[in-house]
């Protein structure tokens, strides 16, 4: 009997999870049952993926950099990676702003619906505003300060500190290149073996992926808000999804132009990571599978994938960038505000920087959105307007984030002749 591919298993798990969630939502106390006996398995699955995120970045980056043996190769690959990520992020914000100005979904929000949503999600709004205010209180160079950890073990204790882990891994790998090869050899052997162990852990965890996404989707359906709220936000969701779809088309065109690989090859190769990204809403949690897809399915050399993808999972949030542009203008439209060109250019700049600082965890983008709203002078209370459907849209944004990371890794790999033909 032919073995079913992982992405098909995940799709089946997602479909069954939605059906099971609908059935539970129709049964008295079905929500309680889902919360007590279904959702915990989804949480365990995400925790398992997050568990290996930090070790994976440490192992893969240090191994990848030490494999280069030449500091000039690192600067060449690093420069191309950062520039490409910034360009795709700017493109993402621009696409979002153009569509939201053309479709104008915020004009469809009535005063009654706006008040209902603001009241329903007031506590959530205050929580995100507090988190953003804390981040805004710091000086302009605070992100640079926070890039350098004072204690690597403390930094490794939280997935929110991914940039600090990447910084340490980069300088550690560079130091290994700069010392004599004979002295670096024992350390290199350790990280090579450590990386192999982490990859095997990924294989083991992915065996339960279909069951994990089943639990996640079933719980999401049961906990979904009323359909009445969804109707008011349907146009906003359509605008955002259209922008995200266009962004994926941009990746396909870039991959085709720079690597010669067709859309079918690219999308089929990255499909397992996209499905997992949709289920977990976390680029960090999906990183192990993204790396496997890029190396095995798309033919990117391990040296490139282990460098480009961990950085992308932290700073390349194109889906989040699209969302911040669309959501900011949508909220302004809902409150009857007309944003000037300069205000919207400010959104482009702020959203680009905010996406770089967004943690690769579920719903982190909505905290950064508060900063974007404040910069543009848009009422932060409007954040409540989009809470009702933020979770499913966050799942879609993560697909774009992961797809962008894969596309850039192929482009960088091709540019330095590290992509299989």
Closest CA to 362 of 317, 325, 303, 406: 317
Taking the domains of the chain in order of start, what are their residue ranges? 6-415
Rounded to an integer, the average pLDDT of 232-237 is 79
CA angle, 295 then 288 then 96, to 5°? 90
Question: Does the pLDDT at position 338 exceed 60?
Answer: yes
- pLDDT computed for residue 343 by the predictor: 75
Question: Does the pLDDT at position 58 exceed 90?
Answer: no
Of the two residues 389 and 33, the one the predictor is more confident about is: 33
Read off the pLDDT band of 255 (50, 70, 90): very high
Task: Find the distance separating the first CA and the last CA of the chain, reported in whole Å.
Answer: 31
Q: How far is CA 414 from CA 25, 64, 410, in A?
A: 49, 17, 6
Read off the pLDDT band of 254 (50, 70, 90): very high
Predicted model pTM:
0.70
Digit-coded pLDDT (tens) for 61-114: 787 777 766 666 667 787 888 888 888 888 988 898 899 889 888 777 767 666
Give me the percent of the chain exceeding a pLDDT of 70.
Answer: 78
Of the two residues 252 and 328, the one the predictor is more confident about is: 252
- The CATH code of the domain at 6-415 is 1.10.3860.10
Closest CA to 266 of 399, 407, 171: 407
Q: How far is CA 254 from CA 114, 208, 311, 341, in A?
A: 40, 34, 19, 28
- pLDDT computed for residue 14 by the predictor: 79
Q: How far apart are CA 276 and CA 325, in angstroms?
A: 25
Token output for 143: 């992100």
Digit-coded pLDDT (tens) for 266-295: 999 999 899 888 887 777 778 888 988 999
């Amino acid at each position: 009997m032919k073995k079913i591919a992982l992405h098909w298993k995940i799709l089946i798990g997602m479909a069954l999870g939605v059906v099971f969630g609908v059935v539970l939502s129709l049964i008295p106390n079905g929500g309680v049952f889902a919360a007590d006996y279904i959702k915990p398995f989804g949480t365990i699955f995400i925790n398992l993926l997050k568990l290996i995120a930090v070790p994976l970045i440490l192992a893969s980056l240090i191994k990848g950099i030490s494999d280069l043996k030449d500091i000039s190769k690192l600067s060449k690959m690093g420069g191309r990676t950062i520039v490409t990520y910034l360009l795709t992020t700017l493109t993402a914000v621009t696409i979002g702003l153009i569509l939201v100005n053309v479709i104008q979904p915020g004009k469809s929000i009535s005063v009654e619906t706006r008040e209902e949503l603001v009241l329903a999600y007031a506590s959530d709004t205050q929580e995100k505003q507090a988190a953003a205010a804390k981040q805004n209180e710091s000086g302009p160079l605070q992100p640079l300060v926070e890039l350098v950890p004072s204690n690597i073990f403390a930094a490794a204790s939280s997935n929110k500190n991914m940039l600090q882990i990447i910084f340490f891994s980069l300088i550690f790998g560079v130091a290994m290149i700069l010392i004599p090869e004979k002295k670096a050899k024992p350390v290199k052997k350790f990280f090579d073996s450590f990386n192999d162990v982490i990859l095997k852990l990924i294989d083991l965890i992915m065996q339960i992926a279909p069951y994990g996404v089943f639990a996640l989707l079933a719980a999401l359906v049961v906990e979904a808000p009323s359909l009445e709220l969804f109707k008011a936000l349907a146009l906003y969701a359509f605008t955002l999804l259209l922008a995200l779809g266009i962004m994926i088309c941009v990746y396909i065109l870039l991959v085709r132009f720079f690597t010669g690989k067709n859309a079918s090859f690219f999308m089929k190769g990255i499909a397992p990571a996209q499905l997992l990204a949709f289920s977990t809403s976390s680029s960090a949690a999906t990183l192990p599978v993204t790396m496997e897809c890029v190396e095995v399915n798309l033919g990117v050399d391990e040296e490139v994938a282990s460098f480009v993808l961990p950085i992308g999972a932290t700073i390349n949030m194109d889906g989040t960038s699209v969302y911040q542009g669309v959501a900011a203008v949508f909220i302004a439209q809902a409150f009857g505000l007309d944003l000037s060109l300069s205000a919207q250019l400010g959104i482009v700049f702020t959203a680009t920087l905010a996406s770089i600082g967004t943690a690769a965890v579920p719903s982190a983008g909505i905290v950064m959105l508060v900063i974007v709203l404040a910069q543009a002078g848009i009422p932060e209370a409007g954040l409540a307007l989009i809470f009702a459907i933020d979770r499913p849209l966050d799942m879609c944004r993560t697909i774009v984030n992961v797809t962008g990371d894969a596309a850039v890794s192929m482009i960088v790999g091709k540019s330095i002749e590290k992509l299989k033909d």
